Structures are given as structure tokens and as C-alpha cells.
Structure 1
């Protein structure tokens, strides 16, 4: 199996046709077709169903594609690192984060790094929390930012950030006039939210069940920004994490506090047995500082509280309580 075969396979998967792949690779169409046939002959099974100029990937092709992409990305990382070494520079900083955190926190944190510490090149991978963990375990990235749980023996959790979820409504929605939206006022409203049932979605579901109307969720997505867009379209009231609401603002909507505090937890993690660069250490602290500036009510917790935080029930918002305490950047509850 040769590199040009993997590149041809990846291009066909991306383009959806041999002709499109040839255009991407700047090779001849017959040449790409022969390369794919050679690859299929070598591995012993068909990768595509042929239908004229277009091809349809087989189930096996999709399984192989995930591996091939990892390999090709790895080769690109090696290339970038080799060039950095030749320039006597630090290698690129590689970050994996869930999409909301990648968009809201990472660019702002990177802008805080001092010139002598900031990397010349940065790669940011937006992925699910499970994929963030996998990227760290495979050493594909240097640092990960993801929602809890993040309890893995091979990872070092540096701290946990907690901030309350919010409601996002269309600007012309009657609820937009209230500074705080009471959960009971959503009883007869459509609700849009995130869909991962083992992370934030679980706590949102618990809050709605306590209010007696769990069936009100009519729009679920793996990306909270999609829920916000549903609110913009007057399709639903979005109950989402504050990183999305405050970090990627959308025209035509307003963000309001909820009377029930639904905690949004995320952490910053690195490989436990991998030495950290000055850029990684600086980014870890910058993420903390940006979190406190951007997210109202943000609290930093010691990593040792991971399990305790996840076991605490959703509670009504209180004044001067632990959950309304805002700790300075670097301080831990």
C-alpha cells in the first residue's frame, strides 16, 4: 500500500467521483481510476460501487476512510514539525476541542499568548468530547478542551470550569422582555438543545423533568449553535451552554439567565506522560482567564472535584451561594 493510493482514495471519498478526485489531485482521470483499482486488488475488496462517472462508497470504504484520514493527517503533522525543526522553531501547537469551546475560547486564548511563547502555527480540531479524548490518547494533539466527564487514567485534568446554562430566544419573543426566564414558563414551548445524553444534555433533561415537561424538547443537535439558530428562526427556545451563547453571538436573538442553575462543565486536559511545552502551559492558563471574562458566573474547580461536581443535582439559582460565586482566573473552588 503506497501513499499515492491512499491520497487517491481520500480524494475520491471527498469529491464523490473519480473525475472530481483527479481534479483535486491534478492527475489524469484514468490514472486515478487505475490507482483505486490497484488499491482494491491489494486489500482484496471493493471500495466503491461504480455507476457511470460517479461512485458510491461501500460500508468498508467508510471504515477504511477514518483510518486513512488519520494517517494522512499524521503525515502532514510530521511535515509541519520537520519544517519547524529546520527553522529552529517550536512545532505547531495542536488543540482538540468540542466545537462550542473551540470557537468561543481557543482564538481568544491564543491571542493572549506572549510573542515569545505563541507558536508560529496552530492546528485546531473541532470534535466530539469522545474524539478529543481519543486525539489525546493517540498523541495527535497537545491539549484538549471538552465537556465532562473527562475521567481517564492516561490524561491529566488541569481544572474544571463551571458556568450556568442559558436560554436563547428570538428578539421578538415575549420571553425576551424578562431578565430571567423561569423554567416553568417553558412548559408549553418548544425547546431546542444539545443531543449527547451522557454529558450536558443529561443535566438539561433532569432540569426539565423536575419541571414536569421533559417531552417539550423538539429539536436536538450535536452542535449547540444549531439550537441557537432554531431560536433565531422562532422554531424553539434554545437551552444551551454559555460558551455558545456568549462566545459565538448570533443576530436576532437575546440570551437570558434561567431561574434554575443547570451547570455546564468543561475541563482542560493533556496527556499525563507527555512533557508540555511553554505554549501549552500558557494556553492552559489563558483558557481559564478567557472563561472567566466571557462566561457570567464562571467558576474554576480543582480537578479532584470532577466526580463530585457531576453527582450534584440541578438546583434553583441562589444569591451569594457557591454556584453564584465567581472565582478569579487561576483560583479554584
Structure 2
């Protein structure tokens, strides 16, 4: 398995054709075809189904693609870092964060880092919570911002933020005139919210169950920004984390607090046992300051409270009623 074969595979996955991949790589179509055939021979299975000049990736190709892209990006990073070392440049600070935190918290924090920290570059990647944890554990990220649970061995948790979720309405919605929104006000409304049932979503479901209200979840999505934009379009009322609801200034929507508190938890983590550079510590402090400034009602907990916070949520979930009030 050669580097040029993996580059050809990645280009074909991106372009959707051998010809298009050749243009991306500035290689001839026969050369790309040969490199793909050699890779398939090395692997022992087909990566593409051929249909004339176009190709369709197989299921195995999609499984392989993420690993190949990670490796190619890693090689590119090594090349860039090697050149930077030769020029005497400072090492970049690498941040991995869930999409909501990457969009709402991290940019403000980066802008606030003092210029005398001598950071040549910041690198920010938005990923799923599970992939953020993986990036920090494998030390390909210096800092991770990720929703709970984060009780993994190998992570140093610096603090845990707790802030209440908010409801998002399109501007002009009658409920937007209310200072706080009761869940019963949403009984006849279509709900738009997130889909990860092992993190925030189970707390949203538990809150509706405790209020004996059936939540008509019309749209669920893996990114809270999608939910906000769906609310803006009139698809429903979005219930989202406060980082997205309050930290992003999105024209055409109104954010309101909920009477029933639905907590959103996230923490700042770094690789355990790895000495931190001053630039990393400076960004950690800036992230904490941005969190306190942007999120209304936020509380910072010590890292030792991680399990206690999750146990509190488990007790709430177990105490919810067995039957729900289904609106007519």
C-alpha cells in the first residue's frame, strides 16, 4: 500500500470519477486507474463499482475513507510542522470540539488570547463528541471541548460547565413575547432538537416526561445549528444547547429560557500526563472566560463533580412518570 495509491483513492472518493480525480491530483486518468487497481489488489477487495467513466464507492470504501483521510491529514500536518521547525516557528495549538462549542465558544476564546503567547497558528476541528475524545486521547488535539460524559482514563478534565438549554422561535412567533417558556406551551407545537440520546437528548426527553407532556419531535439532527436554522424556517420550535442558542447571533430567531431547567454539560479536557505549553494554558483560560461571558446562567463545576452530575441526571430520569399526557 503506497502513499500515491491512498491519494488516488481519496481523490476518487471526493471527485466521484477517475477523470475528476486525475484533475485534482494533476495525474493522467490511466495513472489513477492503475493506482486504484493496485490498491484494490493489495487489499483483496473492490473499492468501487464501475459504470463507464463514473464510479460508485462500495460500503468498504466508505469505511476505509475516514481512516485514509485522517492519515493523509496527519502526514500533511507532519510536513507543515517539519517546515515550521526548520523556520523556528512555534507549534500550533490544536483544538477539537463539538460543532456547537467550536462555533460559539472557541472563536471568541482564540481572539482573546494575548498576542505575546507566540502562537503561530491555531487548528480547530469540529467533530462528534466521541471523536473529540478520541483526538485528545491520541494526543492529536491539545484541547478538547466536549459534552458529558467524559470520564475516560487518559483525559484531564479542567472544569465542567453547566448551563440551561433554551427554546428558539422564528421572529414574530407569539411565544417569543413570553419571558420564559413552559413545556406545556410546546404541547401543541412541533419540536426540533438534537439526536444524540446518550448526551443532551435524554435530558430533553426526561424533562418532557417529567412534565407529563408528549413532545412531538418533528425533526431531530446531529447538529444544534441545524435545529436553529429549521426553527428560523418555521419547521418547529427548537430546543438546543445555550452555546448555539445564545452564543451565536443568528438573525431571524429569538431565544428564550425554559421554565423547566434542562441542563447542558460540557467540559474542557487535555491529554492526561502531557506537559502543557503556556499557549495551551492561555487558551484554556480564554475558553473559560468566553464560556462565562457568552452563556447566561452558566455554572462552572470542579472536575471531581463529573460522576455526581451524571448521577443527579440518572435520578431525575428514573423518577419520571410511566405514563404521559398525550394532547388531543
TM-score interval for Structure 1 and Structure 2 normalised by the shorter chain? over 0.9
2:322 is aligned to none
Q: 1:118 to 1:189 in 2, by over 3 A?
A: farther
Structure 2, unmatched stretches of 5+, are 317-328
The ranges of structure 1 where at least 4 consecutive aligned residues each deviate by more than 4 angstroms after the TM superposition are: none
1:131 is aligned to 131
How many residue pairs align between the two structures? 315
2:23 is aligned to 23
Q: Please tell me whether the aligned partners of residues 205 and 214 of structure 1 are also in contact (alpha carbons under 8 angstroms).
A: no
1:300 is aligned to 300
Q: Please tell me whether the aligned partners of residues 241 and 264 of structure 1 are also in contact (alpha carbons under 8 angstroms).
A: yes
**1:48 is aligned to 2:48:** yes
Structure 1, unmatched stretches of 5+, are 316-333
Instruction: Describe the superposition over 1:156-183 as per-residue Cα deviations: whole angstroms up to 9, x where unpaired.
Output: 0010011110000011111011011111
**3-state SS, counterpart of residue 123 of structure 1:** strand
1:324 is aligned to none
Once residues 217 and 120 of structure 2 are traced to their aligned partners in structure 1, the CA distance between those partners, rounded to angstroms, is 44
Q: How does 1:166-245 map to 2 (within 5 A)?
A: 166-245=166-245
1:148 is aligned to 148
Q: Please tell me whether the aligned partners of residues 6 and 68 of structure 1 are also in contact (alpha carbons under 8 angstroms).
A: yes
**1:274 is aligned to 2:274:** yes
Normalising to structure 2: TM-score of the pair?
Answer: 0.93
Once residues 31 and 297 of structure 1 are traced to their aligned partners in structure 2, the CA distance between those partners, rounded to angstroms, is 59
Cα shift at 1:244: 0.4
Once residues 191 and 209 of structure 1 are traced to their aligned partners in structure 2, the CA distance between those partners, rounded to angstroms, is 14
Cα shift at 1:145: 0.3
Cα shift at 1:118: 4.8
Once residues 79 and 141 of structure 1 are traced to their aligned partners in structure 2, the CA distance between those partners, rounded to angstroms, is 17
Once residues 208 and 226 of structure 1 are traced to their aligned partners in structure 2, the CA distance between those partners, rounded to angstroms, is 21
Instruction: Describe the superposition over 1:170-202 as per-residue Cα deviations: whole angstroms up to 9, x where unpaired.
Output: 111110110111111111111111100000111
Comparing 243-252 with 139-148, greater Cα deviation is found at 243-252
Q: Please tell me whether the aligned partners of residues 84 and 90 of structure 1 are also in contact (alpha carbons under 8 angstroms).
A: yes
Normalising to structure 1: TM-score of the pair?
Answer: 0.92
2:252 is aligned to 252
